Structure 1
């Protein structure tokens, strides 16, 4: 791993020298812009629109636009002085419970390892945090960017997660189109809760894959080999008309039970609590498309047809 930062954790009068390493990596497939006429990759040019010439890195400075077209300029030395004092220290301000931090605040995760002769202090801090169940809220400056951070124990390592400052998180009140507070249908709520319970499972990160990246790699492989490669069109999603019927059909699909379970079955697995309204026959629905590669947990979108009050219903194909 490449060291991205060196400094020390300080809490009280304790000083823990550490090195920082990125805990995650971006595996996005990078595509370049190509000139179609000759097949050459295009490059970005730093060009001054006034001087009409390319500008070398040594001629580039930094500035802040305080009015339209007006800038205040900074030398590299001035910017370095602003961060010099804080760039080598992770100062723990408080210890809190991890559950008190909403995930919206988290940015990027790094691993910390002891540096120089800091193994004893590193192990002491890690074990004290493990036994108290607390995490440290600290301030850190990485590449001239100051941010808050959460230090926690991850397996046998200290991990640090940069987090946004409160004024960097937009309030929910700015989100347009949110529904007004109100009550929901009790039967639909019971069905939705049952569906959530049926889809609930322990979190296993290894079972989730980047399907887009895999399809892109397959496409690249076929193109390199000069082979034709056809991508299946995405399944068209339809609007759900009857929410109760869609919930009932979704539960049945998760439980591997057909839409018409036959006499003696109510749409729930034997031995499980029936869903609200499951004792009556479900609304007549069109057959759903086959389940996707995501497995049985994938919930099909089902478009119910208008209800009929006839005592007998006959399911029709799509």
Structure 2
């Protein structure tokens, strides 16, 4: 893994220098939009919704849309005045009981690795969090924006999990009419829960969709159902295509200099050099 951030965890007068690593990665299946006829990728243009003209990247600005649908253009000077920070500190604000934080607030997870000089205080903080069954609520600046996060223990490692702001959690705007719930129905529900009770093991589950897509793609490749485009991912056929392309390039260069392209028989002299190597293999077998 590659560290994406370096800083220090500070609580009280203690400072623990750490490195930050992304703890998760997405394996979601993604498709490209292509032309069904030849497999060419679909390109998109930056077109203004008002005049219908294509807009150069240099003419694109940041806009904030109001609730009324009006657009406020923000200039570079406006953005420069925003309260950004480049602090390298993970400041512990308080230690709270683990069950007080709604999991819906959790956003992205990172592993914290201590620098060599911070290994002991790192271990002490990790043990203290475990023994107290608490999480550390912290503030940290990532990508120049200050956010709230928590430190919690996962195995032998301290994990930093960024959190969403409270107003980013939507409240349900619907009501549920349950009607009358009978005691017998509740008892049956309890029996069902007990029947399916068990311990959670993430390895018990797999992404069946991704595996199915992979199987379909492999079957199509083996069946020759592949569209060759200039941007195709290189496969085993690369060698033949590359040699042909190189030969065409050499011929074109010779033609430009007024020289004749290589004759077919001359091009075949190269494999002739490999003939002695082929004869050596049987000789070794006889010796053994």
TM-score over 0.5 for the alignment?
yes
1:204 deviation in Å? 1.0
Larger radius of gyration: 2
3-state DSSP of counterpart to 1:93: strand
**Please, what TM-score do these two structures have when normalized by structure 2?**
0.68
Per the alignment, residue 190 of structure 1 pairs with 187
Matched, 1:204 2:205: no
**Please, what TM-score do these two structures have when normalized by structure 1?**
0.62
Q: Distance in 1 between matches of 2:139 and 2:175?
A: 36
Per the alignment, residue 63 of structure 1 pairs with 63
Residue pair 1:107, 1:164 contacting (<8 A) in 2 also: yes
In structure 2, do the counterparts of structure 1 residues 129 and 68 end up closer, same or farther at CA, with 3 Å as the change threshold? same
Gaps of at least 5 residues in structure 2 are: 226-288
- Report matched runs for 1:119-268 at 5 Å: 119-172=119-172, 174=173, 176-179=174-177, 183-226=180-223
Q: Distance in 2 between matches of 1:210 and 1:204?
A: 14
1:102-154, Cα deviation, whole Å (9 max, x unpaired): 22211121111113632233222222222222210112232244432110111
Worse-matched range after superposition: 205-214 or 44-53: 44-53
1:57-88, Cα deviation, whole Å (9 max, x unpaired): x5544332346443231428944862224x42
Per the alignment, residue 73 of structure 1 pairs with 74
1:163-218, Cα deviation, whole Å (9 max, x unpaired): 2222221224x2x24225x6412112111111110100011110111111111111
Per the alignment, residue 5 of structure 1 pairs with 5
Per the alignment, residue 287 of structure 1 pairs with none
Worse-matched range after superposition: 191-200 or 159-168: 159-168
Matched, 1:82 2:80: no
**Number of residue pairs matched by the alignment:** 223
Residue pair 2:63, 2:71 contacting (<8 A) in 1 also: no
Residue pair 1:47, 1:55 contacting (<8 A) in 2 also: no
Gaps of at least 5 residues in structure 1 are: 229-318
Q: Distance in 1 between matches of 2:15 and 2:84?
A: 20
Per the alignment, residue 290 of structure 1 pairs with none
Worse-matched range after superposition: 186-195 or 136-145: 136-145
Residue pair 2:150, 2:163 contacting (<8 A) in 1 also: yes
In structure 2, do the counterparts of structure 1 residues 155 and 47 end up closer, same or farther at CA, with 3 Å as the change threshold? same
